[in-house]
Amino acid sequence: MVTLMKKIHWEKSASAFLIAAILLIAPALHAAEWVGTPAPVIKLADQDNKLRSLQDFKGKWIALYFYPKDKTPGCTQEAKKFRDYWNDYQQHNITIIGVSGDNVSSHKDFATTHKLPFLLLADENFEMAKAMGVARGFGPLRFASRQTFLIDPEGTIVYHYASVDTQKHAEQVLADVIRLSANSDKPGN
C-alpha cells in the first residue's frame, strides 16, 4: 500500500511539474512566433474617435501595448510611465499606442485625467487583441492581457514582451529601440 501511495504521489508530482513547465515555456514559444511577422492591418478608434491603423505610423517605431482596463492601478502606472518617457520616445522616433477593450469615452477620460500624450485604441470587440493572441477572459468578462509588441519602422514585429513589469517596462522599451536602431544602422544590415 505504501508503495502504491508513493507511486501515485510521484505521478501527481510529475504531472504538476509537466503542467508548470508547459505554462512557463508556452508564452516564450508563443512570443517567438510573432517576431518577423507584419503588424496586423486593423482600424480602431482612438480616444478622439478617429480611426487609426498601425500602417498610419510606417516609418516610426511603435510600442503597441495591450492592457486590461483603463483606470486600474497597474494600467494607470504603466500608462504614466510611458507618459513620463514621452520626450525620449519622440527623440528616437517611437510612438506609443495603448490598446484595451474599453470604449472611446473611457479612453478619452483616462488620457485626459493622466495627461497621456499618446494614442489609446478602443478594441471593444477585441478584434486586435484576438489577432495578436492577447484576448483573455471567460463568459462576459473579457480583457487584453498585459503584453507589448515592438514594431519596426517597416511595420514588422521585432520583439514581443509577453511579461511586463509596469514599473520598468517604459524604460525597457526605450532601451530596446535604441539598441535595435544602433544594430540596424550598421553596414550590412
Residues that are catalytic = 75
Q: In one letter, which amino acid is 9? A: H
CB atoms under 10 Å from CB of 98, counted, come to: 27
Distances from the Cα of 181 to the Cα of 18, 55, 92, 103, angstroms: 39, 19, 9, 34
Q: How far is Cα 54 from Cα 52, in angstroms, rounded to an integer?
A: 7
Length of the chain measured in residues: 189
Is the distance from CB of 102 to CB of 67 less than 8 angstroms?
A: no
Asked if 89 contacts 120 with a C-beta cutoff of 8 angstroms, the reply is no
